[in-house]
């Protein structure tokens, strides 16, 4: 594939994420492969932050890179960590240069042991929100030109949109599940109110008040207690009549 074809394929893959059943992990591994092909770098790693801001390694193009990225997380140092921290790219870092690696000397030493000579880190961000960072490694003394930087940042930006879209879908699914559970609970509670109101020959408000007081007094979840009322496993004579 030509460079343009690889870039187009990457964009198409990102568009394919705009559905609710895509595999985020596979997408990010594919992103690593696309970066390898487009930029002719040796390895790529992707880190994403959890809601608390803590970075996690999500994808890496090979085992050496995976272990190196995990080392960066364990020591909380390296271009990728710093890139996520302030949302600023770190480019063309010579891992053999003490001046360029003074802030992450332990990471640089480990990277050199893995055979890498140069590294780059680019933020995965949308407007002011940075969700992670992408790390590129090379075993050769090779810098990224301006056009290469634009390409990889475009890929990182597109991936960020996909990630945020995925989080929106997951959040929406959680909300739908919570709503479904709430509606189901509401039905069970209404049924229990009806049963108690009929047995006591009272109104629904009185029955509901009694159910709530009994649940609190016995440290029971209201929905679960009402379910016991409806399936007959709770003796309603034990519920105090107001």
Phi, psi torsion values for 49, nearest 5 degrees: -95, 140
- Say what the pLDDT of residue 80 is: 93
Range of the domain at 228: 174-238
Co-location of 26 and 121 in the same domain: yes
pLDDT in tens, 198-230: 999 999 989 998 998 998 898 888 888 999 999
- Say what the pLDDT of residue 15 is: 64
% residues pLDDT > 90 (the chain)? 40
Co-location of 182 and 161 in the same domain: no
Co-location of 101 and 196 in the same domain: no
Q: Alpha-carbon distance 222 to 147, whole Å? A: 61
* CATH code, domain with 142: 3.30.450.40
- Say what the pLDDT of residue 228 is: 93
Residue 49, CB-side half-sphere exposure with 13 Å CA sphere: 20
Co-location of 49 and 165 in the same domain: yes
Q: Alpha-carbon distance 88 to 75, whole Å? A: 20
pLDDT in tens, 1-10: 666 676 677 6
Q: Alpha-carbon distance 106 to 109, whole Å? A: 5
Average pLDDT over residues 230-241: 90
- Say what the pLDDT of residue 157 is: 86
Burial of 195 (0-12, 13-18, 19+ CB in 10 A): middle
Largest CA distance in the chain: 86
Which of 16-25, 28-37, 199-208 tops mean pLDDT? 199-208
pTM above 0.75, yes or no: no
Predicted confidence (pLDDT) at residue 18 exceeds the cutoff of 60: no
pLDDT in tens, 74-128: 999 999 999 999 999 999 999 999 999 999 999 999 999 999 999 999 999 888 8
- What's the pLDDT band for 175 if we cut at 50, 70, 90? low
Average pLDDT over all residues of the chain: 86
Look at the chain and report how many structural domains it folds into: 2
């Amino acid at each position: 594939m030509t460079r343009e074809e690889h870039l187009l394929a990457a964009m198409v893959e990102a568009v394919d994420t705009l559905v609710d059943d895509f595999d985020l992990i596979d997408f990010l591994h594919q992103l690593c492969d696309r970066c390898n092909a487009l930029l002719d770098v040796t390895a790529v790693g992707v880190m994403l932050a959890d809601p608390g801001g803590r970075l996690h390694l999500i994808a890496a193009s090979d085992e050496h890179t995976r272990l190196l990225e995990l080392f960066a997380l364990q020591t909380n140092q390296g271009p990728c960590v710093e890139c996520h921290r302030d949302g600023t790219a770190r480019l063309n870092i010579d891992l053999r240069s003490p001046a360029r690696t003074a802030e992450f000397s332990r990471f640089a030493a480990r990277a050199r042991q893995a055979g890498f000579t140069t590294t780059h880190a680019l933020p995965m961000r949308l407007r002011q929100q940075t969700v992670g960072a992408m790390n590129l490694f090379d075993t050769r003394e090779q810098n990224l030109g301006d056009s290469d930087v634009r390409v990889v940042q475009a890929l990182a930006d597109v991936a960020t949109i996909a990630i945020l879209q995925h989080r929106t879908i997951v959040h929406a699914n959680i909300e739908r599940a919570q709503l479904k559970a709430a509606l189901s609970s509401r039905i069970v509670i209404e049924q229990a109110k009806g049963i108690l109101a009929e047995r006591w020959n009272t109104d629904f408000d009185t029955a509901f008040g009694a159910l709530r007081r009994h649940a609190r007094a016995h440290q029971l979840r209201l929905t679960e207690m009402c379910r016991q009322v409806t399936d007959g496993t709770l003796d309603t004579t034990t519920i105090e009549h107001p």
